[in-house]
Amino acid sequence: MGINDSLQIAAAGMKAQSDRLHIIAENISNVDSTGQTPDELPYRRKILVFQNMVDKHTGIESVKISKRGYDMSEFNKKYEPTHPAADEQGYVLYPNVTTIVEMMDMREARRAYEANLGVIEVSKSMLTRTLDLLR
């Protein structure tokens, strides 16, 4: 594996984690997004599924998003009889987003992004040193 290969792998990892951070931010921003009527469902948590993929041209294995989907767990219920989306019993469905889970996922994605950035910085440093030796 050459320096270019490590740069491609790290860039693919950074792209995947960047997409993951975007989805996490969307989930957090919609944590209180309920429906407008009792029949309307609230925001459903989005998720990404990663998969190792081999590039046919280069033979390099890297990460790629294989699926964008929804968390099908149950919605949270809160008793708010005055809310416009309350059902006959006074309960409102809230998104199945848990802020603490999203924050933990965000921390993990950020660290993975930073690790890939570190690989790029080390590869760049190695390339610079190699060029210095050739002078």
Each of the 135 residues of the chain gets a pLDDT tens digit; together they read 677 888 889 999 999 999 999 999 999 999 999 999 999 999 999 999 999 988 777 788 888 899 999 999 999 999 999 999 999 999 999 999 999 999 999 999 999 999 999 999 999 998 889 888 888
Which residue's entry shows tokens 């931010």?
25
Q: What phi and psi, each to the nearest 5 degrees, are found at residue 123? A: -60, -40
Q: How many angstroms separate the first and last alpha carbons of the chain? A: 24
**Amino acid at position 127, single letter:** L
**pLDDT given at position 1:** 64
Question: DSSP state, 54?
Answer: E
